């Protein structure tokens, strides 16, 4: 605190202007520049150790109370660190759960597989199918085929012994056209369930068709371009409007 002004920032001066008459003048304290205090500034180097606890999340804040710049008569502010999570090549994270995508050959999908995953904490885990377990290309028409390894996700923040699950999203790579030779096809037909029945027909009377590449988006666009003037309810602009077209 400034001793010259008692911390007021101003000093009162009395000046005698005539006998018995005193003028009271208030002026800014020159010792402290009107601040009421005198302070010497110093720069300080401080090392803040940021401890990222297990299971912390993206954008989570770590606060160092009162570690910002100090100013007289003011409470020092905080220094905040905001955690920014980096993308990982293998693992995707949502909450405490992790997800990896695994591509299997059709052989692995049908006959079983085993592979080593290097986990985020450096451990190696072997993920192995159960005997007879079949991995499918997809669960339903739109949902991918997913299984979990329980408790191999992230530790929960504040409760690191409770872990999320590790989701494995499977993709199955089928052999390409021509990759299976006649011998392999014969063997597969023997071992895989529900082989195609032999149908008998007269090739003179029944036309044999083969399949070409296609895109389902083109379904409905086949045939010759049509000029038919069909009524389309989507183009209806409301009642009372009659459209005439000259033909
Ligand atoms: Zn002063």
Domains in the chain (CATH in brackets) are 1-42 (no CATH), 54-85 (no CATH), 92-173 (2.60.260.20)
Looking at residue 149, what is its pLDDT?
97
Ligand 1 centre to CA of 5 (Å) is: 4
Tell whether the model's pLDDT for residue 141 goes beyond 80.
Answer: no
Q: Which residue has the higher pLDDT, 61 or 20?
A: 61
Ligand 1 centre to CA of 12 (Å) is: 11
Write down the mean pLDDT value for the chain: 89
Looking at residue 40, what is its pLDDT?
82
Question: Taking Cα atoms as reference points, which of 60, 83, 59, 55 lies closest to residue 160?
Answer: 55
Looking at residue 70, what is its pLDDT?
85
Ligand 1 centre to CA of 7 (Å) is: 6
Looking at residue 28, what is its pLDDT?
92
Per-residue pLDDT band for 73 (boundaries 50, 70, 90) equals confident
């Amino acid at each position: 605190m400034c001793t010259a002004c008692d911390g007021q920032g101003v000093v009162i001066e009395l000046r005698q202007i005539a006998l018995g008459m005193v003028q009271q003048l208030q002026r800014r304290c020159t010792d402290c520049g009107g601040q009421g205090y005198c302070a010497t500034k110093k720069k300080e180097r401080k090392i803040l150790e940021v401890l990222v606890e297990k299971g912390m999340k993206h954008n989570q804040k770590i606060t160092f109370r009162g570690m910002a710049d100090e100013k007289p008569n003011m409470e020092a502010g905080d220094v905040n660190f905001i955690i920014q999570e980096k993308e990982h090549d293998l693992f995707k994270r949502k909450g405490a759960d992790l997800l990896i995508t695994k591509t299997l050959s059709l052989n692995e999908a049908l006959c079983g597989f085993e592979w080593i995953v290097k986990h985020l904490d450096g451990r190696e885990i072997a993920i192995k199918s159960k005997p007879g377990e079949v991995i499918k290309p997809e669960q339903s028409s739109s949902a991918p085929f997913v299984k979990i390894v329980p408790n191999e996700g992230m530790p929960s923040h504040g409760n690191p012994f409770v872990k999320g699950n590790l989701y494995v999203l499977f993709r199955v790579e089928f052999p390409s056209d021509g990759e299976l030779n006649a011998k392999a096809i014969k063997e597969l037909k023997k071992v895989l369930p529900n082989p195609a029945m032999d149908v008998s027909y007269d090739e003179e009377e029944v036309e044999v068709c083969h399949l070409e590449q296609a895109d389902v988006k083109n379904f409905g666009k086949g045939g010759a371009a049509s000029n038919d003037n069909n009524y389309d309810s989507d183009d209806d602009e409301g009642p009372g409007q009659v459209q005439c077209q000259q033909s």
